[in-house]
Each structure stands twice: as C-alpha cells, then as structure tokens.
Structure 1
Amino acid sequence: MQSQPSPVIDSPVDQPPQPRHASRPGLWLIASIVSVVAMMTLRLIQEPRFLFWDDTQLGAFGQWYGLGSYLLRGELPLLSPGSWQGGNYLAEGQWGVWNPLTWVIALGMHATDGATAAVTAVKIAFLIGLCVGAFLLARAYGAAAHWAALSGFTATAGGQTIFMDAPSWVTGLQTVTLFAFLWWALKRHLDDGMSVIPYFVFAYLLVTIGYVFAVLEIATVLLAFLAFALVARDGKRAFRIVVLGSFPALLAVFVYLPGILTAPVTQRGGADILNDQFLNMDLGDLVTSPIATAVSSVRGYWGDLLPVPLAYVTWLLPLLLLVNRGWRRSLVTLRVPLAVLLVTVALVVGPSVIGPLRYPARMMPYAVLALAVCVAVIFSRGWPQVVSTRRVVAAAATTALSAWLSWAAQPGSWPIVAVSAIVQVVMIAALLWPRVGARGARVAASWLLVASLVVLVPQIARYPSSPLGNFNVPSSVSAMKQVTTEMSDGIFVVGDVYSLQRDPRAYQESLIANLWYATGRDVASVYTVLPFTRYAQELCVDLRGWTCPQAAETLFDANGEGATIADDMALNTVIVIKGPDLTEVTVPAGWRVDEGEFTWTLHRVNPVERAGGVARTDAGVSVSSVTWDATGATFRIDSAPADGGDVVFSRLAWPGYTVSGAELTDPARGFLLTARVDQADVGELVTVRFRPPGWSIELTAVGLAVALAAAYVGWSVVDRRRRTSAR
C-alpha cells in the first residue's frame, strides 16, 4: 500500500549522486556480518563455552530440548505434573510454546549430541540476525550502506548483549534481534508502503517468545510513531498505528495473562516499586560507555563492583563531534529512534524493581540498537569530505575524558582502561591520515568498521567470559541421559546442587535444573521463574532445585495418616548430594540406597506410578477407574463418609483447575490439588481438568489478533489495487 506524504514521515537522508557501483549494499552487509563472526570467533578462541554459560546451561538448553521432545511426540506442552513447580509452561512464559521459531530451535537440539555446539550455532545465528536487522533499520532511515554496515556491527557489540544476553539470557538476544526486524517492517510499511505481513510475522514471533522487556519496547516504538502522527494531525496514519499496535497488545494478553493470574500463588506476586541498585545503571555508568574496557559500579550477582564492561555502548560516540553538517535534518529524521533511545535509557536508570519487572539493564541492547541507527544516519548526512584536525582532537579528548571517568569508577582497572583509551585514540587519530580521512565516507566507514573490531581486542583479552556462573555441566546429551538409566520417573534432588560444578564427575550421579529434561524423566528439581510459594517453603527449595539439608527429612516425614511428601509427590528416586550438612542419609522403609562418590541415591523398592493421579484419599473415601494425563484426571467415587472426605492428587494446585462431580477444596499441605467428595456423589464420575487461568479470555484475544491481522492485510491489498487503478 502506498502511503500519502506526511509531515511526520522520517525523510530519507539526502545523498550526493554516486556511481552505480558505489553503494553495493549487499557487499557492505556481508562485511558487517564477517566482522560480527570475527568478533565471536575471537571470543570463542578465548573461551570455547562463551555462548554456553549460566542460564543457558541451566535453563535454555534443557528447555529447548524438552520442548523438542514434546514436539517429536506431536504435543504442545501446557502442564507437566511431574515437573512440579517448573511444569506450568504457559505461566512460565519463556518456553515459547506458541512460537514456531522456538520450535525449530527445539527440534534442532535433537539433531546432535553436542549441547555446546548446538547452542553456539543458534546464538551465532541470532547475532548475525541482529546485525542484519540493524543494517536494514539504518537503511530504512536513510543511512548509506557503508554506514549501515557499521550500525550492524555496533548493535551486536554492546556490553549487555555480549556479557549477559548472548552467553546466558538468550531470550534477550532473541528478542532484540526480532525487534530490529519488527521496527524495520513497521517503518517500511508506514512510510514506504511495503507489505504489512512482515510486521505481523515479526510481532507474533517477538511477543510469543515471552520476554516482557521486548513488549515494552514494541509499545515504545509504536507510541513514538503515534505521538508524531498526532502532533502532525495525521488522523489516518494515527488510526493505522493504533490498529497495528492492537495486534501485539492482544498477543500479549494471550501470552502473559496466564502468568499474571498464576502469580498470587507464586513468589513473583509482588507489586512493590523500589531501587535496590541491582542490575540498573546510573548516568555515571553511561558516561563511561564509549570505553570498551570500562567497568563501573553496577550491582549484580558479583557484588557492588562490576567485573565486565556491561555499560559499553560504542566507541563511536565521541566521533559524532566530527560531523559538521546536517544535524538539524538528521534529528528530524531520527525522531522515533531518539524517542526510543530516551525512553529506554530512562528505564535503564530507573527503579530496579517495578512489580514483577526486574533488572532494567536488560533493556540496554535496545538503547544500543537505537543509537547505532542514529550514528549511521548522522554519519551518512554529515560526514566531512576531509576530517578536521580540530574535531579529531576534540573526539580524542572526549574519549580521554570518558577513560578518566572510567578510572574514577574503579581505579584498580586503570591498566586495561588505559590500553583501551590509547587504542581508541589511535584509531581516531588515524582518520587524519590522508589515505583514510581524505578519501571520502566509504573509506572512512571501512576504517571505522575494522577499527570497531580492533578496539574490542583488549576487551576480549581481559574479559574472556560472562561474569555470571559457569556450572561446568556436561556438553554431551548422551552423558546427561546416562545419569538416569537406573532411575524411575519421579526424581527429586536434595542438597546443594550448585556444588556439583566443583567436580565435573559429579554430573555422572546427578544433574541440575533444566538439564534433567534431556533425560526424558519426570523430575521435580527443574528450573522455574515462578516458584510455587507453599511448595517452595515446605521443601525449602529454590528456583533451580537447591534445597536446604532438612529437605531430606521433610520428604519422608509422615502425616497423621502415614503419608509422606515423597508419597504424595509420587517420587521414586531421591538424590541426596553430600555436603558439610549432609554427611549421612537415613533410608526409610520401602526404599534402598546406592552410595556414590558425590551422592546417595534412594530408590523406592516398589515404584509407584508417575505424578498426576490420585495420591491418597481420606479415611472412608475410596475411588476407582482412575485415569489421568498432563492436564487432568478422572475417577469414580466408590465410597465416602457421611460428612465427606478429600481426594488428594499428586500435582500442584495451580490456578486454572476445575472439577465436575465434586468440588475443589483447600490444597493438602498447602500445595497439593485436593477435591472434596460427598456421600451423595458415590457412583459418580469425577473429572478434574486444567486450563490456564483466563483461558477463554486468552483464546478470544488471540482470535481477535488473527482476525485483525487478516482484515488489515485484506484492506491493504484492496487499497493498493485501488491506488494502482487510479494511477
């Protein structure tokens, strides 16, 4: 659809006439991609597991592998009773159950035995995708191809992306990549009449990954476009933006409402707004962002002093001083990117906790993307034919000032900061060399692209890995599977699971967090971002499966009716990790023990069926014909006392359960799903069924989103044909 000219449309950058061969955007894009691959190759040489780190080891890989296992069986997982607090997949959100791109990745994890290699390939692909997305976005705003290439590399090299998202928090890397493409598709549709279908595709993929910070950025860019349309009193454009924005908004209801409605029973149910200075930044951190090795005082898992250049944005910032023309028109062109940049930075330096939203430093990649686009456009419009000595001195002095402030933030870092500052100043001064600074913008862009890689060499050498943890987990899927060859479904780990990393041989006896999904067994000790409050308190278990030593006794303490938590949870294997507070283990009746070097493994002598069915009934209550699957159970009531009794299930009492033929009552032990049956119900069939809370609203929302997208696409086609006929 061809748009009518509008005063709010970001106009393309004016470029002087060039020979047909001068731009060659494809070659410049390839050069940018090669630079990204070279940067990551250097990092992988330093640390082969650079991209298989922390939450990727404990969360993402096992999650992908587990999802792939479901897909290979022809299933989409909604709930896994045997995974206990980690098994509510739609409430968890980041499983990407509805995301086709995640499906492809999940299936890919089954194509090889090498976990590290598979994950590394996926992340390199997303880094290249981010490079391509930033390149296209810069081009959409009018940047010349050679400067857009610089934008592509810059977008991938920010500190948050390199040291946190790429090694560990992969959903951050995935979503900033898709956001770059979404923004590009949105602008091209609104301003250039490109088909709207790419926008809808990228919006769907982005929202259904389940990373909430990306949704905030979608809202930011849409509101920026809308605000400038309203200022220009362009009602038609404003209406189109509202319609386009309704699509991701409806999808957000579909994806996030289950988690919101589940939150009251979890430890993520808070609504406080506070600043504990945990993984947010201040303006002092940002002024050091041009120095590739600058470390500051961002508080995180490492303590108060940041051990890596997390706030690094780009060394190109001082080079904006070299631009001597075109500023006014560049700023007009870049109104939306500048709005996105300002809002994102405001959130990064804002409170560290806003209800369930934590760690605002995670939004830094979006700021880097917006800034990379701005730099490319400003350079395209105003890069001088001959670089001024005075301006080069000013840029070098600004770099030196940032280096001094970096030293002031952490004086002990002065050697590596000094090395970076010297390298960066030399790269800037090289622009005075006639063969670089006086040969035109394309030569300068080529030099700055190479220099952008060179200035990272000290950073790569000094900071070879993420500041987050390396848990030394196995790289082989077959090694993970080997752990459970003698174990039955229903596995629970007691003790300090983090101690396994001290000796890789310990992973021959136990695994940690989501690595259990590679085994295909039902395991309670998997990773969750939504710990079920009463369950976690009862077993003193954290989100990755660590427990206090007392959990070994708690599991086998019998209630008044003789039932233990191990019975109620249908556990058949309990792994107890040896440690200072776990020097011996008591073997309960009906269990046997195998002792290893690092663990004791308790096995139930007569294994019970996997979790999900009826665990026990009150005295006087008997049931039969019990069947169950992941999302429900049925049984027939054979007897019940006059005052009624309870039927307890081996599954958590998540919000979303309904029952016919009985009624749900207070959960046994505070967390076990429990149904109340009466004597009048004897002979009746009872059905317990789980659907995510708000399921009808969620289905309505996604249905409306699909209908809206289809209607908009249809209208666009008709409108384009009408305009073509009119012409």
Structure 2
Amino acid sequence: MSVPPPVLRPPAPRRPTVAGPPGGGVPGVGTRGGPRLRPRTDFGTAALVAAIVAVLAQMPLLTNRSFYLWDDSAAEFLPVWHRIGANLLAGHWNPLVPDMWNGGNFAAEALFGIWNPVVLLDAVFTAGSGNLLLAAIVIKTQFLVLLAVGVYAVCREYRANRAAAAVVAIALPFSGFTLYFDAASWIAGLMGFAWTTHFWWSARRHLRGRLNPVVPIGFGLMIVTTGNPYGLLGMVVVAAALGAEAVLARDRRGLLRLGSVTAVAASVCALVFLPLVLSASVTTRSPGSGIKNTGFLVPGVGDLLNLSAPAYLPHAVSWHLSFWTVPATYLAWFVAPLVPWLDWRRLVHDSRARIGVALVVIVYTAATVGPSQIWLFRWPLRLIEYVYLGLSIAIAVALSAAPRLDQARRRAAATGVIIAVGGYLSWSAQPARALTVVAATALVGVLSWVMVRRLRAGQPLSGLLIMGTVLVLGFQALAFPANRNVTDWHPQHNVTSMREHFDGVYQGNTLMIGDPMSEAQRLGQRPVWHSLPGGSLLQVAGVVSLNNYTGISYRTYMRHLCMSYYGGTCQGLYSRLWRPDSDSSTQLADLLRLRTVVLQSTQHVQDLLDPPLLPDQPRAAPLALPAGWTTRLVDDHTLVLSREQPLPWPDGRVSYSAPGVRVKADQVGADGVGETVRYTGEGGELRIAALLWPGWRATVDGRPVALQGTDVGIIKVLLPPAKAGGSVLRLDFRPPGYRVGEGLALLGFLGALVTVLLWYRSQRSSLTVPAAGTSGRRSSTGS
C-alpha cells in the first residue's frame, strides 16, 4: 500500500521536461493532456484514505454508541429500510406499503432510494442483520468512506498531489454538518453528497476524453436514484460548472460528452421524483411553496468564516434551541491557519481549467446564506458541505505547491491572529462553554505552532495535518457527543428483543394515542419510548402501526387524527374513535379496522382504570371504555385496549359495506398491496382501510371504476350492481407518472447505448490514426 508523498515541501531542482502546452502548467480541459495520474499508486493511496476514514468513523461511538442511530435515521430511515429489506427477502419490491399508512408511500417519499441498487442492498443488510444500530454504523461508515474516496479522486483530477488530496479527503467527511447532521441523521443527504463527488471526477475525466462514459453515467444514476433532491441539485450544478470549463477551453466535443452522460443520468428523474410531485395534491409538501425566509437553519457569512474553529456554535433558528449544539459550520482545523502560507497563484494559474471549482463555491455559498426555502429546497445549512467540497479542492491544489516562506514572521503572526479571532468568536457565541472553547483554541494553536515550525524547517506536513484531524475529531466527540438540535428517539435496536417485547400485546392495526415527545419530557425518555417507540420504529417489531414518521404527511389523514409528522397525536383523539365518523354512520375505530389502541398518558390511564391507579389524585370526567374492548395495563403510563371479537374479512381491508353490498370474500395480494373483493347485491358504497394515495386503480369485472377519498383519507368505492354470479373488485397500485418515468428511463438507456458506442468508435479512431503515422515513420527511417 502506497504512502502519500509529503505536502508543502520546498520545491526540488527541476529537471528538464518536455514542453507542455502554451502557458505552461496545467493543460486545458479540452486537450488530451491533463494530470498524469498513476493508477496503481493512486489506488493504493485511495485505499489508505478509505481505511483511515473507516477507522475514524468509529470515534464518535466511543462517547455515544447511538451516534449513527439518531433523529431521522432512528425514526424513519433504518425502520423503513428494514421493512424494504424484509419485503425483498420475501420476494417483493413494493413502492407502496399500505399497512404503513402515512409512512408507507416509498415512491412518493423518494428519498428511501427504492430504485437504487446500493440502497436496496443496504436495506437487505438492515433486515438481515437483526440490529438497527449495527446496520446504521455499517451503512454510515460505508458512505463516509465513499465520500472520502470521491473527494480524493476529484482533487487528483484537478492536479492536487496525492498527499494533499489525501489530507482533505480524510478531513471533509468529519466536517461539522456532514458528520453531525448527514451522517448522524440525514443519511439520504450523505448518500447524495458522496455520489456527487464521484460524478464530479468521473464526468470531468470523461469530458477530457480519458474515461469510459459508463462510469459517470453510473455515478449519475446513483445520485438520482438515491432520491435526495440535494444530490440531484449537486449533479446539475457540477455539470454546469464543468460545462463552463469546457466552454472556456473551446472543447465542443468535451461539452457534448458531458451533456450526453448528464442527460442519460437525468433520464430517471421522472421515475424517481414524479410520484412526489404528482402526489402533492394529498400531502402537505406542495411543490408550489415559493420562496420565503424564516431564518430556519440559515447560517450567516460570519459563521462560514469560522470554518476552522472546532468549538464554534453559532446562534440560529432550529427546532428545539436558539443555537446549534454542534459545530455545524466547522470544516477542518488547518484550513484557516494555513491561508497565509499557501501560494494561491497556483489556483490562478490556468484558471480556465479550474473555473468549475470557483463556480461551485460561489453558487453554493450564495445558496447557503440565502432564503430558508426555495421551492422544495429548504434549510440552507444542508448546502454548506457542497461549499466545503469546492473549498477542499482549492485547498488541496494550493497545498500541492511549495509554501510561501518569505516574511515568515508576518505569516506566523497572521496565523496566530486567525486562531485567536476564531477562539474569541467561539467564546462570544457561547460564553457558558468557555472551558470547551479554550481547550479547542489551545489544541488548534498547538497544532498550528508545530505546523509553522515544520513549514519553516522545510518538513512535510501531511502526517501532521491528518493527525490533527484525528485529535480534533476526538476532542469534538468528547465535547459534543450528540446533536441536541434534533431528536434522540432512544430506539431499541435489537430486532429480536423488540419483537419479543411487543409480541401478543399490539395486534392488528394499532393506533397509539399520545405524543411521545411531550410524555418523554415529563416521564423520562427511555421508559416512554420503550413502550411507545416514536416514528416508524414499531414496524421493526412487526406491529401494524398507524403512527409512522413521514416527510410528506397525507393531509386529511393527519388532520383527522390530529397526528404529527412523527406519529404523535392529541389526547382528544381517544373519544373521537368511538363516535360515528364525520362522513359515515360507522365508528372511526371500525373504519380504520383497529384491533389495538394504545393510550400513553398518566392522566388517561388514571381516568380509565377502576379502581384508579392513583386513588389520592383527583380524576377528571371518566372516560368511557367502549363496548367490546378490554384493557391491559403495561405500566403506569401505558394502557392497551384490545378488541374482543375478530373483525370481519380478516384477510382483507374492507372496513364498511353498504346494506346493498354483500362481501363474499376479501383477500389482500401476496405482496401486501393489491386486493380482491368478491361481492353480490345491488351495489353501493364500500370502504377500504388504506389511504387513497394517487396511483390506486380499481376495476369491477375488468371495467375501471372511480375511487373517492373519505374525510379521514381512506379509499371509498361506489360499486355497481353485481352480476348474477357475483362480481369481483380488484385494487392495485402503480406510482403516478410511472409510465412517463419508465418511458424516459428507457430513452435514457438507449441514449446510454449510443453514448458508449460512439465512445468506443472515437477511441478506435484515435488509436488507428497514430498507429498509421508511426508505421509510416518507421518505414522512412528504415529506408
């Protein structure tokens, strides 16, 4: 395995070399020149970078073992991937899981990556591992490593040397936002970001005619099918930046090559994102959200300037606090202290070849400090890592040149001032954390002092810069073990233990009444979330829960059940269950085919139990226990109501039929999605206990019939009179826009074939002409 060469070593005497292109230095983008990379050496260094990052990714676990099973990862991603993986292992690939209700439309959510082969393999691993925490650690480490290797490759593509590329590639995955938000919580963002780095280097190399188009097309497809819109935005911005490089280099063929691979990768956008857009009519995530600014997760320009202060916690609007509890704008300890010593002329030299990097930094910096929402894109802090990606490339290129050692004292003083200002701003932002700030500033100060000494002595820096990254990461793991701005769900992670805990207690359709967050604040998080897991965690335990985490929220369902996006409900829902629904004479509990109702509220438990649990405390107006239901006390704040008699049609979802409809059989398909209902009679209304997502289709005896939504959002069918021998209603689901997406994806596939064929044709042509010329020269020499 190859060790990276030194960084920032004084230049050795130059040997005579063959003259390069006019202007010296780096060949233009449109030429056949470019960096002379050594594949074997680069592979060895990239492997070393990957190994180091894989090990460092475990450091946050030393102070918080649930670091990677946090917030959305715990409440949504891992439970959903577990369900997807279980379905795949059973032989089913489902874009919709009806029994997950508001959280089961995987196609419309998009970000679960149901079209992405890597995500599907990770989902199978999640289901097969039997442990959500283990799966989270492995998957997060996997993508941190992919990110590091991608950063290394794109830095090398811009002619950074191996050591400099390795230094920033190891640092960027552990920058503040990427580590504490994307890796810990928003894994879809990390996936999109990691694949974007690989698209960047591969698309640029293909643009220069040095890489098969299959590679950038493959990475582009990975970005799009991940389903994260920020990754797609990254691909578009990178492609535009590379296009600018090609235009300035007057490389028409390169521009055509870039456009073809980008278009092919983008051809699956409709397949991935069209269900989200076409489902907006029933969700709370409307595409027409426009532009607005609430200041939510919007960093300031000053926050970005503190990118080398490991303890800087800026004030900004967030969920639970008025400041960030983690250094979200941190990049790397060495970036700002090194600025006075770098020879920035290398970046300016042949700037046309690097204009793309500047454009990415400028565009994303403007967006990061811009409005809090533009269309579907919200919370600009998510974009800061793309700014830092461009800066990392620039730093790696600058690090590859010899340092500026003239006026060394002034440069050292400038480094000291930079560190001191960063320390002061960190303290002024959070005066209560003075000791943490002093320790962080001292650590950076000592590392920078050693760095300056090595610079002036002409010694390499790569080892020091990487070791400093390790030390700062360890410090941050101790000082900031968790992101308190988002939710810690305290999830159970052992699947077998979860199933044993809930087996026989929560049966059939289960609705939990209460808000786990508010109860957790009062009673303690672990005991509450042990009995009433938040988000979609009950899916892992095999419970058919109506409470799930969702990013798109089926509007009427959520309002009717006064349910939050993470599944919490208001306490008033209990009494509403036992009354006729607003548009039906049937109880809401029956329309939803509930078999289990879970009450999590000490007050509600007190009011329902007889004798009371706490006899010395006054009771509110007693709550009525519905007829046909029994109670079971799980603990002093959790009461389970179970239906005594089985529901009709146990193999299906029919929850109501009009007097003129006699259901003979109701059967859900083997995949758990489609449904077949056999009936007789004069026809009338039939209700199905499943949400009417766009994409449901119904036929009666092969003829299409219209579907309607009820006040709660479930499916209502107006059945025509049955035939003499009975009629058959069939329900099936196909994501809206699927045919359009399928057609565009097919065109993209054909475009990919054409692109690859043209590539091989051009390669054969370029090899044939030099060969003929060589043969001619040899002939004349021989004569």
* TM-score normalised over the length of structure 1: 0.91
Distance 2:713 2:127 in 1: 34
Counterpart of 1:647 (choices 686, 694, 697) is: 686
Residue of structure 1 in register with 2:592 after alignment: 569
State yes or no: 1:675 paired with 2:717: yes
Evaluate the alpha carbon distance shift between residue 581 and residue 247 of structure 1 in structure 2; reply closer, same or farther with a 3 A threshold.
farther
Task: Map Cα deviations across residues 358-413 of structure 1 (whole Å, 9 max, x no partner).
Answer: 22211222222221111111111343478933322222222322333333434444
Q: Which amino acid aligns with 2:310?
A: A
State yes or no: 1:344 paired with 2:364: yes
Pick which of 664-673 and 355-364 moved more.
664-673
Aligned length: 713
Distance 1:207 1:566 in 2: 40
Residue of structure 2 in register with 1:589 after alignment: 627
Distance 2:408 2:558 in 1: 64
Residue of structure 2 in register with 1:313 after alignment: 331
CA root-mean-square deviation: 2.8
Larger Rg belongs to: 2
Residue of structure 2 in register with 1:60 after alignment: 77
Counterpart of 1:247 (choices 264, 278, 281) is: 264
Residue of structure 1 in register with 2:769 after alignment: 726
State yes or no: 1:603 paired with 2:623: no
- Given that residues 29 and 149 in structure 1 are in contact (C-alpha distance below 8 angstroms), is that contact kept between their aligned partners in structure 2? yes
Pick which of 474-483 and 602-611 moved more.
602-611
Distance 1:611 1:260 in 2: 33
Counterpart of 1:690 (choices 730, 733, 748) is: 733
Residue of structure 2 in register with 1:476 after alignment: 494
State yes or no: 1:148 paired with 2:165: yes
1:111-510 mapped onto 2 (5 Å cutoff)? 111-269=128-286, 270-318=288-336, 319-324=338-343, 325-329=345-349, 331-384=351-404, 388-433=408-453, 437-440=456-459, 443-467=460-484, 468-486=486-504, 487-498=506-517, 499=519, 502=524, 504-506=526-528, 509-510=531-532
Task: Map Cα deviations across residues 401-451 of structure 1 (whole Å, 9 max, x no partner).
Answer: 233333343444443333322322332222342x554334xx222222222
Evaluate the alpha carbon distance shift between residue 481 and residue 291 of structure 1 in structure 2; reply closer, same or farther with a 3 A threshold.
same
Question: Post-superposition shift, 1:143?
Answer: 0.9
Distance 1:356 1:627 in 2: 38
Task: Map Cα deviations across residues 136-194 of structure 1 (whole Å, 9 max, x no partner).
Answer: 11111111111111111121121101211111111122221121112121122112511
Q: Which amino acid aligns with 1:131?
A: A
Evaluate the alpha carbon distance shift between residue 27 and residue 330 of structure 1 in structure 2; reply closer, same or farther with a 3 A threshold.
farther
Residue of structure 2 in register with 1:81 after alignment: 98
- Given that residues 159 and 311 in structure 1 are in contact (C-alpha distance below 8 angstroms), is that contact kept between their aligned partners in structure 2? yes
Distance 2:31 2:183 in 1: 32
Residue of structure 1 in register with 2:620 after alignment: none
Pick which of 208-217 and 285-294 moved more.
285-294
Distance 1:571 1:465 in 2: 37
Pick which of 419-428 and 558-567 moved more.
558-567
Question: Post-superposition shift, 1:574?
Answer: 1.4
What SS class does the counterpart of residue 127 from structure 2 fall into? coil
Evaluate the alpha carbon distance shift between residue 612 and residue 387 of structure 1 in structure 2; reply closer, same or farther with a 3 A threshold.
farther
- Given that residues 662 and 681 in structure 2 are in contact (C-alpha distance below 8 angstroms), is that contact kept between their aligned partners in structure 1? yes
- Given that residues 648 and 672 in structure 1 are in contact (C-alpha distance below 8 angstroms), is that contact kept between their aligned partners in structure 2? yes
- Given that residues 624 and 635 in structure 1 are in contact (C-alpha distance below 8 angstroms), is that contact kept between their aligned partners in structure 2? yes
Distance 2:604 2:690 in 1: 30
- Given that residues 159 and 309 in structure 1 are in contact (C-alpha distance below 8 angstroms), is that contact kept between their aligned partners in structure 2? yes
Residue of structure 2 in register with 1:614 after alignment: 654
Counterpart of 1:534 (choices 556, 560, 568) is: 556
Pick which of 574-583 and 310-319 moved more.
574-583
Distance 2:187 2:764 in 1: 42
What SS class does the counterpart of residue 632 from structure 2 fall into? strand
- Given that residues 8 and 232 in structure 1 are in contact (C-alpha distance below 8 angstroms), is that contact kept between their aligned partners in structure 2? yes
Evaluate the alpha carbon distance shift between residue 50 and residue 662 of structure 1 in structure 2; reply closer, same or farther with a 3 A threshold.
closer
Evaluate the alpha carbon distance shift between residue 628 and residue 36 of structure 1 in structure 2; reply closer, same or farther with a 3 A threshold.
closer
Question: Post-superposition shift, 1:259?
Answer: 0.7
Distance 1:74 1:287 in 2: 51
Residue of structure 1 in register with 2:667 after alignment: 627
Identity of aligned residues (%): 25
- Given that residues 81 and 123 in structure 2 are in contact (C-alpha distance below 8 angstroms), is that contact kept between their aligned partners in structure 1? yes
Q: Which amino acid aligns with 1:489?
A: G
Distance 2:251 2:50 in 1: 38
Residue of structure 2 in register with 1:91 after alignment: 108
- Given that residues 33 and 132 in structure 1 are in contact (C-alpha distance below 8 angstroms), is that contact kept between their aligned partners in structure 2? yes
Question: Post-superposition shift, 1:25?
Answer: 4.4
Structure 1 spans left out of the alignment, 5+ residues: none
Pick which of 604-613 and 714-723 moved more.
604-613
Structure 2 spans left out of the alignment, 5+ residues: 1-25, 609-623, 771-783
* TM-score normalised over the length of structure 2: 0.85
Distance 1:202 1:718 in 2: 23
Question: Post-superposition shift, 1:296?
Answer: 0.8
What SS class does the counterpart of residue 334 from structure 1 fall into? helix
